[in-house]
C-alpha cells in the first residue's frame, strides 16, 4: 500500500498549513477568550475553497475527497481546534445533500454552502436523545404542501450561524427510528428560533446552540431522501463526520507535539536543554508513536470512504483512537511545559480543553466501542 500523498495533496497541505499560520493562529486565543464565531476566517476559507472540499465542481465545490478534507482539517486544528471543528461540521450538511438530495436541492443549496459563504449545520441531538437517537421527539407533520416542525434540538454546532440546517424529525412517530426523516430548514423561517447558546469547556469559537421549532412550516420539497429514511441518512453522515473529528483530534495532537518539541529545544533547566532529560524525551516518543498510529487509522478510514468501501468500523476506530490520542498528547505536552503550559500565554491549556470534546461529540468513545465490538463479533 502506498502511503505517499500526490503532488496535489502535498500542495494542499502546504496551502492549509500557511493558511493556519497566517489566518487562524493570530486570532485563536482571542476567539477562545470571547467565544465569537470567526466569520472573517470562515469567509477566507470560502475564498480558498476549503468549504467546498469533497463537493464536485459542478455544484460550486472544490472537488477532492475525504483525504483532502483530513489534510485541511488537521492542519487547521494544529493552530485552532475550534476553527477545524467549524469547517468539519459545516461540510456534513453538503455531504448529506450531495448523497441524498434531489437534483433541485443540490442545485439550490450546494453552491451556497461550498462557495457562496453560507453556513450549514446538522441537527440530530435532543435533550433526551443524545447517544440514543431513537428517543427523538421532534416531529414533522405533513399538512398539505408543508411539513410542520415542533420540538427542540440541543448541542447543535454552528446552528446559530447556519443559513441551512439538516433537521432530523419524526414524520411518523408511531414507527420510532423508522419514522425519522431529514428535512432542510432555512434560517429566518417563521417558528424557527435559536435558544440557549451554550458555554463550553473548549472550542469556544465553534458556537453550540439550542434550536427551537414551534409550528415551523417548511415546503415538503425540503424533505431529503424519503420519509422514514432519516436514521440511515444520519448514520451514514456520522460515519463521515467521525473521520472529520478524528482529523480534528489528530491535528490538535500534532500541534501539541510541535509546541513541545520547540519548547524542549529552547528551554534550559539544570544547565541543560530539556532534550537532555531522558524522562521528557520518552514523553516525546510516546506522543509521536500514538500520533502516527492515529494518523494512519484516520487516513485509512478516509480512503475506504472515498473508494466506496464499508468504513463504519474503521471510522469508529479512527475517531476513538485519535480522540484518546489528542487527550493523551495534550496532557503530556502541558506537563512538559510545566507552569508555563498551565498559563494562557501558551496554547497548551487551550489545546488540552479543545481535545476533550473529540471524545464526546459525533458519538462518545463508549458508543464507538460498541460499534467496533459489534462489527468484530458479528
List the CATH number of the domain containing 139.
Answer: 2.40.110.10
> How many Cβ atoms from other residues are within 10 Å of residue 313's Cβ?
19
282's enclosing H/E stretch is helix 278-306
- For residue 345, being part of any structural domain is answered with yes
The CATH number of whichever domain residue 40 belongs to comes to 1.10.540.10
Residue 165 lies in a domain: yes
Query: What are 142's strand-pairing partners?
Result: 147
Q: What is the pLDDT of residues 278-331, one digit of tens each?
A: 889 999 999 999 999 999 999 999 999 999 999 999 999 999 999 999 999 999
Q: Report the pLDDT averaged over residues 208-234.
A: 97
pLDDT band for position 89 (cuts 50, 70, 90): very high
Residues 101 and 334: their CA atoms lie apart, in Å, by 45
Q: Three-class SS of residue 363?
A: coil
Instruction: Say yes or no: 238 and 219 in one domain.
Output: no
Average pLDDT, integer, range 176-188: 96
CATH number at residue 299: 1.20.140.10
Q: What are the Cα distances from residue 269, in Å, to 137, 259, 265, 266? A: 59, 18, 11, 10
How many residues belong to the chain? 378
Question: Considering the domain boundaries, does residue 134 fall inside one?
Answer: yes
Query: Is residue 1 a part of any domain in this protein?
Result: no
Structure confidence at residue 233 (pLDDT):
96
Q: What is the mean pLDDT of residues 178-185?
A: 97
Which domain range does residue 134 map to? Answer: 120-230
Alpha carbon distance 347, 29 (integer Å): 8
What is the pLDDT, as a whole number, of residue 366?
95
> Predicted confidence band at 277 (pLDDT cuts at 50, 70, 90)?
confident
The answer to whether 121 touches 164, Cβ cutoff 8 Å, is yes
Q: What pLDDT band is residue 4 in, cutting at 50, 70 and 90? A: confident
Residues 99, 163, single domain; the answer is no
Instruction: Give percent above pLDDT 70 in the chain.
Output: 100
- End position of a domain, from candidates 197, 230, 263: 230
* Domain boundary pick from 196, 230, 264: 230
362 is catalytic: yes
Asked whether the predicted pLDDT for residue 356 surpasses 70, the reply is: yes
- The model's confidence at residue 1, banded by pLDDT at 50, 70 and 90, is low
Domain membership flag for residue 2: no
Which residue among 75, 227, 359, 362 is the active-site one? 362
Q: Give how many domains the chain has, as a whole number.
A: 3
Q: What is the pTM of this model?
A: 0.95
Amino acid at each position: 500500500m502506498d502511503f505517499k500523498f500526490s503532488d496535489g495533496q502535498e500542495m494542499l497541505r502546504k496551502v492549509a498549513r500557511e493558511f493556519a499560520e497566517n489566518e487562524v493562529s493570530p486570532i485563536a486565543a482571542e476567539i477562545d477568550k470571547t467565544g465569537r464565531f470567526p466569520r472573517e476566517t470562515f469567509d477566507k476559507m470560502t475564498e480558498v475553497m476549503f468549504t467546498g472540499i469533497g463537493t464536485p465542481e459542478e455544484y460550486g465545490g472544490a472537488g477532492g475527497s475525504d483525504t483532502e478534507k483530513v489534510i485541511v482539517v488537521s492542519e487547521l486544528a494544529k493552530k485552532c481546534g475550534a476553527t477545524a471543528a467549524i469547517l468539519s461540521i459545516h461540510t456534513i450538511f453538503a455531504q448529506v445533500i450531495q448523497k441524498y438530495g434531489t437534483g433541485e436541492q443540490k442545485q439550490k443549496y450546494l453552491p451556497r454552502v461550498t462557495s457562496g459563504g453560507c453556513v450549514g449545520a446538522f441537527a440530530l441531538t435532543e435533550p433526551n436523545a443524545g447517544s440514543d437517537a431513537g428517543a427523538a421527539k421532534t416531529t414533522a407533520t405533513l399538512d398539505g404542501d408543508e411539513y410542520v416542525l415542533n420540538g427542540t434540538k440541543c448541542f447543535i454546532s454552528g446552528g446559530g450561524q447556519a443559513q441551512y440546517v439538516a433537521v432530523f424529525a419524526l414524520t411518523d412517530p408511531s414507527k420510532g427510528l423508522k419514522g425519522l426523516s431529514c428535512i432542510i430548514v432555512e434560517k429566518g423561517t417563521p417558528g424557527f428560533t435559536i435558544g440557549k447558546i451554550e458555554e463550553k469547556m473548549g472550542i469556544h469559537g465553534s458556537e453550540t446552540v439550542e434550536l427551537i421549532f414551534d409550528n415551523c412550516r417548511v415546503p415538503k420539497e425540503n424533505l431529503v431522501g424519503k420519509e422514514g429514511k432519516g436514521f440511515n441518512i444520519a448514520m451514514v453522515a456520522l460515519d463521515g463526520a467521525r473521520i472529520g473529528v478524528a482529523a480534528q483530534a489528530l491535528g490538535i495532537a500534532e500541534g501539541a507535539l510541535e509546541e513541545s518539541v520547540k519548547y524542549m529545544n529552547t528551554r534550559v533547566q539544570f544547565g541543560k536543554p530539556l532534550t537532555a532529560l531522558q524522562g521528557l524525551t520518552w514523553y516525546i516518543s510516546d506522543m509521536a508513536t500514538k500520533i502516527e498510529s492515529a494518523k494512519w487509522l484516520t487516513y485509512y478510514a478516509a480512503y475506504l470512504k472515498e473508494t466506496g468501501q464499508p468504513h463504519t468500523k474503521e471510522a469508529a476506530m479512527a475517531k476513538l483512537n485519535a480522540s484518546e490520542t489528542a487527550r493523551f498528547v495534550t496532557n503530556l505536552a502541558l506537563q512538559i511545559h510545566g507552569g508555563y503550559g498551565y498559563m494562557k500565554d501558551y496554547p497548551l491549556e487551550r489545546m488540552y480543553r479543545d481535545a476533550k470534546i473529540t471524545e464526546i461529540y459525533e458519538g462518545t468513545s463508549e458508543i464507538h466501542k460498541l460499534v467496533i465490538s459489534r462489527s468484530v463479533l458479528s
